[in-house]
Every structure is written in structure tokens, then in C-alpha cells.
Structure 1
Amino acid sequence: MYPNLYYVFKDFFGVEIGFLRFINSFGFFVAIAFLVAAAVLTSELKRKSKLGLFHPTEEKITVGKPATAFELILNFVLGFILGFKIVALFFLDAADTQDTQAYIFSGKGSWPIGLLVGALFAWIKWRDAKKQQLKNPEDRVIRVWPHDRVGEITIIALVVGLIGAKMFDIFENWSDFLKRPSEYIFSGGGLTFYGGLICSTIVIIWYARKHKFSVRHLADAIAPPLMIAYAIGRIGCQTAGDGDWGIYNNAYKVDASNKIVLAAPNDFSDSVNKHASFFSTHYENIQDVHHASFPKPAALSFLPNWFFAYNYPHNVNETGVPIAGCEGKYCNQLPIPVFPTPFYETLACTLLFFLLWAFRKRIQPAGGLFCLYLIVNGLERFFIEKIRVNNRLDIFGLHPTQAEVISAGLVITGVALWIFLRNKYHTTPQKL
């Protein structure tokens, strides 16, 4: 596992670059996911605009004004934060920055570097405005297309999505949150995808209506980017080992050399008893440890064992038992390998992205592609939950996970919305 890029470079190239500790693997892949999603969304919005499905809106702007005090102060503050925390990494003692989370939320940093970078940012803003300044500032009307707003849409989805994902994770683990609120609030992990999806969807619908472009066509354009972004984001979960893994696969075990190998009949119970102190923190009765047996099929014998069971060494959650000979942070691994469900979701959602991409010009009416996204996304998540570790709810004697409830709701919503759209907006099939 690679909690951050420091471990990637150390493992692959044998070099230790201290500041890379601050580029977390999960965050890195989330950033890549948003960039890819933004590129795909831009492409789709441009295509739909050429077909006449979107129209520009007009906005009045004033050009030639000098930089305002607010703009200068804002740029100074952003530059100060960058210099105080990030640029300072190149100059501070490594011992002060070893624990990245503690450093980020501490008062450590460099005031001189922060002030210098802040002043530089403010000066750049002043200089750029000075170059474009006119003797008499002019009011101009510009035309803005939906694809020109992809940057704004992406930022909205990122900020609101992360807040929603964190909120839903807290609700899902409410009793544990009350015991350790600061760990949940300030942790980079613990993000519930559906929380981000629901909250960002609500805000983007409001944004679309505000700027007067079709919500249904926008929803169709967003469907493929959402799917590929989720697939890439799950690479981050797999790489970092953030806890979004499956239940234990008792067909395998971790041998003395930390290799994943086939297990004997009694190996699972022996491992549970051997590491009873670890399992007792997660289960009231260690005999209730969730597990299933799925050995590698003969037809897939060419695949490595970790495709079917993985112990997530050096996971970012520092969950499990100590790794022999490892010192410092991220020195734990799971005592029994689990199903690597983030990897499965990356494969499944990549295939579903190509499915949506193939049908994006064929499905009628407008909004139908987004309905298909809701259905296939809900089905994928519902079935993967069968082998994932998650807290369970108590609803009328049933014990589904939060994700199972939401994913079932997405499927039902997708089907119902598709029927509604077909009845209300049914048209002669045409290319969209």
C-alpha cells in the first residue's frame, strides 16, 4: 500500500522525497478523477451545444478596472497559506513534518515564507490588473456557453461533494463519531460516495436553473463523467487502503513472509484466535467475524492471489496488526486477507462508463442516460455491498447497509424517472 506518494517513490525508485508525504494517494487519485471527469464533461457539453441542445447566456462584465482591495487581500491570504504550510516543507526539519495530518492542523509553518509568498501573489494580481487597466473602464456583454462553466461545476461538485460525503459518513457511524468527533472531522478518510453524489446533484441542479440551461441534457452529459470519476477514485481507495475493503476471504491466509497463499481448513479460526485482541475491537463476539470462502477459479489461475484476497499492508487507516520489522507510521496490515472491493469497483465502473458512452447518442428522451446511470450505478453498488465491510442499519427487522438502502433507492428512482420521462417527453428517436 502507498498512503502517499512518498512511499511510491521510495518503493519504485529507492529515493525519499520528504514533501511527497503531503500528497496522499487517495487525494491524488480524487484530483485525477475530477480532471478526467471535467475533460469528458466539456467534450459532451460542446457536442450537445453543436446540436443546438444548449444555448449561451449573456453576462455583463466590466473590463479595465484596477485590482480591488478585496482581490489583493484574497490573493495575499491564499499565497500566505501556500507559503506558510506548503512551501515551508522544503525548509522545515523533517521531524516537524513526519505526521502530515498533525502538521496540517498544527500551528507549525514558516511566517517569513508565508508573508513573502502572500506578497508575491498580491503583486501578481495587481500587475495583471494594471496591464489591462483602461483610462475609462468599459462594460461589455459576453456570451457564456455551458462548457465554459465546467470549471465552476467541477469546483462546486468537489466542495459540496466532499462535505456531503463526510456528513453521510458521520451519520452512518454516528455512535462512533460521538466518541471520537475530532478524528472523523479532521480525517482525510471516511467519505461516503453517495453522500457526495446526492448533495452535489442538488446544488448542480440549482446551478443549472440559475444559468438557464437544460437540466435534463446536463444530467445526460454528467452521467459518463460521474462513472469514470468513481472508477478512478476507487483506485485511490485501493492504493491507500482506506478501509473500503471487503469481508475476509477465508480461502486465503497471510504466510510468514507476508505472502497471500491458499489456506488450510483451520487457518481462518486459528488466525482469528491468534489475533483475538484485534478482532475483539470490531466484534462483540470474535466468532461473528464476517467472512466467506472464494478460492481462485481454475479458469483464472493466471491471476495473482491478491485479485481475490489482499491484506492491505501499510494501509492509511493503520488498521490491523503490526508488520514485523516496520517502524514509524503505516506499519499495520490485516491479519487475514479480505476481498479487494475497491479494485472490483474500478473494473466494474470502467466497463459501465464505456456502456454509458456507447449509448449516450441513442437513448431517448433527454434525461434517459442519467436514469440509466442511476440504475447501473445502484445495481453495481448493491451487489458489491454483499462482500463489503459496512455498518448495518435496523429497518423493520432488516439489516441493510446505508449504501444498500441508497443504491436500491437509486435503481427505483432511475426506473421511475425513466418511465415518467418516456411518457411526458416521448419523441421520434434522433441523435443526441
Structure 2
Amino acid sequence: MFPTIGDLISYIFHVNAKVNLQTFGSCMALAFAGAYVVFVAEFKRKENDGTISIVKVKTASKTMEVIVNACIGFLIGYKVVAILLALWQGQDPVALLFSLRGNWIAGGGLAFVWGIWAYSTHKAMASQFIHPYQLMPYIVFMVAVWGFIGAKLFDAVEHFQELLYNPVTVLFSRSGFTYYGGLIFGALTYLYIGYRHKIKLIHMADIGSPGMMLAYGIGRIGCQLSGDGDWGIVNRHIKPGWIPQWAWAYTYPHNAINAGVFKQGYYELPAGVYPTPLYEAVLCILLFLGMWMVRKRLRVPGAMFFLYLVLNGVERYYIEILRVTPKYTLFQLSQAQMIALLFMAGGVAGFVWLTGRSYFSSTKQIP
């Protein structure tokens, strides 16, 4: 596997590349970038067809804007410069990210620059009108923050016994994130931002559905390439001749979490397991393409969102059968399977509601 981008480059180009940038984190960044492009495209399309309109935003006071920008500048300088230096020196940037260490000089300098910039460019107005897609930088930042918190909290609940035994390690470990926790917290944050700007929640849900499917598919590529532990159970079935071994039963050599047995300088699983991240990456990207092709035909508000709930729920429920995840005594289902069932039920109920509403609307028009 390829815990770092340097490992991936070395494997592809047969060179000794010392780029200590985490593969999983890089794919997560690509997932956000892909989702950003899709979200912006859908916001613009919905505005052009009249579904949504320009939104009114309030500008902060001059003092508050300077303070906020200075704080953001400090955080970026304090952490980003330190991480770049760690990469240059061949150190682990992720360990630095999840610590209190940083570069005070860069943080202070960027805080000063950003504060001065905010002071000089502040517009003296109470509010202004912008296009909905212009909210995306703010949406991405807030969704990333709250999605990260949600992913951590759901993982802590999923490993409740470990949380009771060693809460600090579980909560502040650089590994251990639950997809549905990040999805739920991120989606609620996204919807709340839409609500604050008077965009109907059903339109916000429709706009975000294709992008969320794509982001998940790209994120799972990172899980597969890095070997982060999201693999399946041991595959004891005979491999069909047309399927490559790495796509049927894989041992994840040199995985990112050092799981399995140590041999020849790296860790490897003792038996081949189902590469479930690979399956999910392929499935979800294909599902995204299907949603993208039919998006203009689904003109009823809510149809795209309910379709997403059904597709996401079905995909995750059945992939969990192959995955190594804790099962709860109630019905022997994992946390993800229980949430997936709620997603499927919500999607089906939504389509029933849309059908019923359409039927009653048509009967009212009959003289």
C-alpha cells in the first residue's frame, strides 16, 4: 500500500520520492475539491432555472472582520508553514497537525498581514446580495470542521469500550473516523447555512446530493490506497479467473495502520480480505455518474435527495456485510447498517410522499 504520496510516486515511476504527504489526507482534499466543483455547478444551474435566487448576507463590523481574519491568518501560518517544513525535513505532517506545535513567527506574520488586509478592504455596508454559489468557500470550511467533529464522535461511540478505557487516545487520535458521523454533522451544517440564507432546505438537499456521493467515492480511493483499516473480512472463496487478486482478496502490505504480521520491513495481513474500499469507490463514483445524468430530469423538489438516500443506504448496508466493523447485539447490525436502514426508509418514505402529493394535486385540478 501507499501510506504517503511519496510511496505512490515511487511505485508508479520507480524513483525514490521522499514526499511525506499522507495519501488518505490527499484523497480527502481531492474529495472536497470534487464536491466543491459539483456543488457550484448545481447552485448555478438551480439559479439559472429559477429554483433559487440571490441571497442577502450581512457583513461583519470592521473590528470583528479584522479579528476573525487575523485569527484565520494565524492558524494557517502557525500550522501550514510548520507542516510544509515537516514535509521538507521528511517528518510526519499528520502528527504535527494533531498537536499544539506550530510556527509562531509565520502565524504572527500572517495574522498581521490578513488583519491589515481585512481592515483596508472592509466595505461599510450593512448587507449585500451575492449568488448562492459564492457561499461555497464558507460552506466548505464549516462542513469540514463540523464533519471532522462528527466523524470523531461517531467513531468514539462505535468503539465505546475503548472510549471508556482511554478517552483521550480515542478522541484525539489521528486515526479513527466514521463516515456517517462526518456525513450527518456536515449535512446538518450545510442545511443550516442554507436555512440562515433563506434557501429552501429541500433545494439545498437536492443540490448537495450528487456532490456528497462523489466525495465519498473519492474518499474511499484514499482508504484503498493507504490501507487505513476500512477493509473487509477474510475472503475464503475461490477467486474467479477474470478478477485480479488485489480486487478479490488483498493482504494490504505496508498498510498505514501497521496491521497484521511484520515481514520484510513492513506489515501485512496474514490472509486476504475483501478490498471493500475499492468496491465502494467504484460503486459510488458510478452512482454519482448516474445521478449526474438524470439530474435535469428530476424536476420535482426532493426527488434527487430521496434518490441519494436510497442509493447510499443500499450501498452501505450491503457493503457492511463484508466489512470488519463492530456488530451490536440488537439484530447483529453495525452502526453504519442501522443508519443505512434509516436512510433507505427515509428515501422510500420521501418518494411515497412525493407521489401522494402529486396525485392529490392532479385530482384537485379535475373539474
SS in 1 for 2:259: coil
Alignment counterpart, residue 170 of structure 2, candidates 157, 167, 184: 184
What are the within-5 Å matches in structure 2 for residues 9-408 of structure 1?
A: 9-13=9-13, 14-17=15-18, 20-21=19-20, 23-61=21-59, 68=66, 71-72=69-70, 74-83=72-81, 85-89=82-86, 97=91, 100=93, 102-105=95-98, 114-126=103-115, 128-129=117-118, 132=121, 138-139=124-125, 141-250=127-236, 293-296=237-240, 298=241, 301=242, 303-324=243-264, 326=265, 331-395=266-330, 398-408=331-341
1:372-395, Cα deviation, whole Å (9 max, x unpaired):
000011111111112111110011
Contact 1:220 1:360 (8 Å CA) reproduced = no
SS in 2 for 1:139: coil
Distance 1:30 1:47 in 2: 26
Alignment-mate amino acid for residue 117 of structure 1: A
Q: Work out the percentage of aligned pairs sharing the same amino acid.
A: 33
Distance 1:138 1:371 in 2: 43
TM-score, normalised relative to structure 1: 0.76
Q: If each structure's helix is expressed as a fraction of its own residues, which one has the higher value?
A: 2
Distance 1:76 1:157 in 2: 21
Alignment-mate amino acid for residue 6 of structure 1: G
Residues 81 and 34 of structure 1: CA distance in aligned 2, closer, same or farther (over 3 Å): closer
Distance 2:99 2:124 in 1: 46
Distance 1:211 1:67 in 2: 19
Alignment counterpart, residue 420 of structure 1, candidates 347, 353, 358: 353
Give the root-mean-square deviation of aligned CA atoms.
Answer: 2.7
Distance 2:314 2:139 in 1: 27
Distance 1:159 1:104 in 2: 14
Q: CA deviation at 1:9?
A: 3.3
Alignment-mate amino acid for residue 16 of structure 2: V
Distance 1:189 1:126 in 2: 34
Contact 1:310 1:338 (8 Å CA) reproduced = yes
Q: CA deviation at 1:172?
A: 1.1
SS in 2 for 1:138: coil
Please, which runs of 5 or more residues in structure 1 have no aligned partner?
251-292
Contact 1:365 1:422 (8 Å CA) reproduced = no
Report the count of equivalent residues.
360
Q: CA deviation at 1:187?
A: 2.7
Residues 126 and 12 of structure 1: CA distance in aligned 2, closer, same or farther (over 3 Å): same
Please, which runs of 5 or more residues in structure 2 have no aligned partner?
363-367
1:297-330, Cα deviation, whole Å (9 max, x unpaired):
x4xx2x4211101100111111100022x1xxxx
